[in-house]
Chain A
């Protein structure tokens, strides 16, 4: 199991466990919706219930919106590109010899150099004519090796699933950080595979170099940067010195995520203040300790995670407007 696979498994496990806890909380509080709607929030328990339900609605909407946005964007992009599909040039046929990619490569006529792996259950590789023209045979083969790794691992499917969970579970911000690390680790492993297959680093490095944009200050927040490095910069560092990448989760995210899950579990255990056990405790301790405290933790995590989710969008809008 590769490191990226382990990170993906951890992320999926955490996502499923978090979903179970948060779903239990939602089911505990959902019966109060009618009561809240008819007579409003009367006490602290009601305010907490209303707040948590609001956070849940945001999470569900974010998750569904992310899934929908990704599916429509992918479908539209592929439809546009497939309309410009051409027969495989001989250079591509030659570069793909022996890679077992029969019928899985598309070349589209486009003056921008790009290549990517797409579709979910039976992925394909798409190359643009500008990329094919710009690269020599060895470089093209290195790019195909890189993409073949993504294809075999069904990375587009992993990506859409991971992004869905990261958005829906915005109150557990560490899921989003694991997603960013997974994305980067995947690129690095695909690069390593290409270097291994090519026998040296030159072909891949040269292909990457030829595809760099001319401007060196382009930052659009599409790919999630790890610490201060962009994904491509981190990939270059890895090509130079093949040290395992440190995960570097932010302590704030870890604390907020842990806090949010514990808070949710406490709220479930005491049924958001409606359980018999809660009523037997002195309100002086029970209300701040078992209601307001956990709700505040959940809210803090939601604010941090929500900002995280919105950042790529705002960054992109900011960049497009300048």
Chain B
């Protein structure tokens, strides 16, 4: 990964979100794989922001961060809580996405392994469709997804 070039780091809250990210990364073209890195799991949604602070976002202006969390059915409150703690000047390079409840509920609803769900999410990004992102457990991400499609998707696809 050339840190001088646009690149994306994923901070998964837990193992289930890590597996979603793995599935997403597997769908990237082989020559784009190195523009994305999945970091070790944070260990809970409240730990992803401390994780963000270690990323030296100010030092690396081409770095984009995706926080992959569970909203535990508290979407608005949790999104606001996290966004309020992100330094305003980094707001356009940080994205917060996740299942409405948790990935396990998503897995049950879609009847697919986490990796396959992650791959389907990537395919939506590649094809500019909403087949998986439009699922009731994911559709609340619409605003963040739109920002992601403008800033991050062109880096990876």
Do A and B interact?
no
Measured CB to CB, the residues of A under 8 A from B are none
